[in-house]
Structure 1
Amino acid sequence: MSVKVLVCGDIGGNFKTIFDRVDKVNQSKAGPFDILLCVGSFFERFQQQTQGHGHHHHHQQQQHQQQEEIDIKDFLKDRKLSLPTYFIINSMNEIKYLEKYGVSVEDGGQICDNLFYLGRRGILEYKGATIAYLSGHATFPVKDSYDENQPLAITKQDISTLIQDKSKFKSIDILLSNQWPRGILNGVTDPIVNSMKNPYQKGYDSIKEIVVGLAPAYHFSKDLHYFQRLPYKNTNSGESSSSLTRFLSLSSVYNDKNEKYLFAMNYQPSKETNVQDATEFPFTTTTTIKRQKTDGDESRQRYGDNNNNSGESYQKGKNKRSHNHLNETKECWFCLSSKNLESHLIVNIGSECYLAMPKGGIVNDHTLIIYIEHKPSFVSLSDDERKDAYKYLDALRKYYKQNGDTVPIVFERNVKVQVNDKDFTHGHLQVVPVPSKLSQQDIIDGFQKLATEKGFTFEHAKNQQEFLTAVQNDQDYFMVILPDNSIIYLVLDQKLLAAKKLAQEEKEKEIKEGEGEEEEGDKDTKTKQQQDKVMPIFEMQFGRHAIVDLLEIPERLNWKKCILDQEQETKQTEQFREAFQPFYDEGGDNDNDNGTTATNE
């Protein structure tokens, strides 16, 4: 018995392209085929999250093409699908299409003749082949069970049910998912490994748990580029020595590099497998979801995020880390492996950054874009890390606009913090929504007013590249990303600051010596005046200070007085996550190149 299968990557609404291609392949010498399976986005067009700047012409062409033929029923009025077509969906944005066609998100169903949505998760038996499928995405935190507010979030119940359902069948022939399992590239020497920053930690641990539990003969997923792995042995999954899994990741239907998006095979479930060229089992077998741990940097594995950057190139670059780095990350407030991390504040984890709520936020929906690697600043990031930060920023812009008519002010204070010779500077961007009625000049003037009081003058960079050229990797600075993506910044001269600090310490000493001569009634007033004169040369809360002045909310200056209890923080984070997630999903996958261009030219 054999079944001839076609598998396709992201369609993204490009129905004519894919079905014309399928018809041609089906009529070729390789055909006819029995079934077409689709992973990734089926209905939804790829979203170009742009500011209208810095994109190549082919992106514009892609947008133009994707605006054609989005209604599958209209498209099929004058043609019939040549193969039974089964698909999963990728994001929340595609649910509206299922609702339009009266098909259940959970259980799946028929859209029209020869077209079927599989459902959230399950196993389909087709002509003797067993096909396991999983719509949606792994998210953080992994919920125990289905949440109607996040209907496509993969849950612990989904994982356990899918693995348990395997017992109803002899084996699983094909698995369809939208994401890679973490560790899939372990043992791979393909050139793709050399082109990726940290390939051995690409993927999600919850997908890995499913793959390990199901041990499918074929696992199909999707990505920007086509990739086919050597088969690996499933001996660590409790399978027989001849059990192999072949992993393939398909590109999108529309791509300008002719990447492979359609895979054809004549699958014979009973055929003997050749283990000669197979690699060893690539995955760690420790329990996932509760505690993530793979080889390399531990700073991301706890929460099932995607592609990790080990920071190797950074270590070899301009700012080498000390041998105490591991201890630093374990003690750092922001490192994901840290014992001090307050994980209930995490909103979402991306490929290079994660989004969190601050403690004692200035206003509602104040957020932090935090670099996953323990790096000190925006300037020290790689291009991919900056791109991921801007993906969050673009999603926040849209969220703020629709939820309160606000715009984000983004600031970063990069001044080294060392304790016992350990570097505790973990860079992050503070993102604060302010009323859109505030003009950009109002924002600039507000920051400059405070800077003038401290003896500084802001420089203005018209775009990110100009800022990165002006500020060196080892320089301390303060920057503000304005609503139009231009940047104002201060470069802080440490030698000058040190000299001023020494002079101020002398003043403080004089103040303390003179305090005893004052009457009690005058002491408090004079001490306050003197303290104002001897504030740190560049105060820790400069950005916060400027914004509370701008918004005229001085009571929010001290973050410690704005802290909520943990129950309130958890509720606040969950509510924001549910409201924000659709805006983030619109940006597409972290590891494709359709995200924001992080320049404003």
Structure 2
Amino acid sequence: MDVNTKILVVGDVCGRFKQLFQRVESVNKKAGPFEMLCCVGDFFGDDKQNEELIAYRNGFKHIPVPTYILGPNKKEHEKHYLDLNHGEICTNLTYLGKRGVYTLSGGVKIAYLSGVECSAGTNDAYQFTKADVQSVRNSCLISKNCATDYRGVDVLLTSQWPYGMQEKENEKASKLISHLCREIKPRYHFCAINSIHYECPPFRMPKDETTQFELCTRFISLSGVGNTTKSKYIYALSLKPVDKSRLLDLVQKTTDEVPCPFIGLDLGGTISKNETSESHQYFFDMDAGKRRSGEHDKKSKRVKIWTVEQERCWFCLSSPDVEKHLIITVGDRFYLALAKGPINDHHVMLMSTEHIPCVARLSPEDWDELNKFKTALRKFFKSIGQAVCFTERHYKSPHLQINVLGFEEGYAWKIKHSFEDKAEEYKLEFETMPALTSPEMLPELGPYFLAELPDESTLITRNMKQFPLHFARDVFCSENLLNCDEKVNWRECQLDKDEELALVKSFRKNFAPFDFTED
């Protein structure tokens, strides 16, 4: 029997961390255990208030429930998000990122969008754009094989209100969020930053090209922690995932429903017709020519942090520690090298020449060259009767690394099943996406793990709690595939330098007809 997933949602914290976590601890003891606490609105307050977090950062106090927060909603709060390592602020406190979909171990899907809608001519880190909204929408819809059986997502988290909920709040509301809510059809939509508690009666989204069902949404705005009016700022949910719920429960109407506030609403051309669900194809380019607001320019603090890391990174091409004898070929932005402790003779790695943490952070120019390498490698492996799999682990790895491994073509169909079997063993939850066509498809800050399969579909998980660092090798070395468990740990199958040089020379020679860097 499936057990419901329990989560907590809280409104503006504004630096009142001690009061929040004391309340959460009490609620967790009485009604828990809760799997996670989600914070919408302003998590940080002024500098004096934020001092309460020091005790939790230093380990003197403990956060009772894994807590996930959205990004800043104002310029002055951006500084609190610039030096996060994989989104982790401290134990049990994680920044979700700019936008995405987070899937819990029980299958509950939580879509989220940080910040406030950008105004004309601006695109700061605390603002979201049309591209961010479309990215969340596509992440929700794309996992469905049939375009008419979409059941919605369980929860949508935003800080800003959707336009159309209350007339007096519309000047602070977002038409883009209204569009997102109408498209992805969440069962619950939580927001904050208006400093009021408001629960709208349930309303139903109409049928469209993605679903034949009229799905119900409950909109809830939460007040701030420690508000003087003692209005509600914390909300408890017990959910069975929509994908595991009875269809009758999802479509059955109640007597207190109201008309959908987004029907007939003039969104002022927020999203053009060819960018909505009226097309059965879901595009991921998302204005790819523009850098996302999380990609700060050369003057930003984040880039300064990367520069410091680069000085000691083993994988940056300019680093004195990089093992140059492993390099097979070098492009302008990426290089190909033999894997350390390779599983077989054709186990190689794609790495960025400069210090970039993950594929989600690539510029359009970076992305183009990465695709050239992948295309060349697919052609090379096909020429020797093999299918290829690419994996990336953006977790406890400061530099972008893509493992590339070839398999006999007859084994290609087994790879996905092997990932699924191993995921079940480690209690990981994967989603299937189509071919990876843009970095916008990936969580901007991570962490995440992905595998691009021979059929070019993509498996991805953000369920990185206690994620095994050897997971990909564990899959590849399993009995179903290469049957070499002794090679799961790369340290136990390292080669001496002469053997490595021989493999590099052989791969370079065989890869030469496909190597575009020599043109």
TM over 0.5: no
Greater gyration radius: 1
Q: TM-score range by the shorter chain?
A: 0.3 to 0.5
- Normalised by the length of structure 1, the TM-score is 0.39
TM, length-normalised to structure 2: 0.45
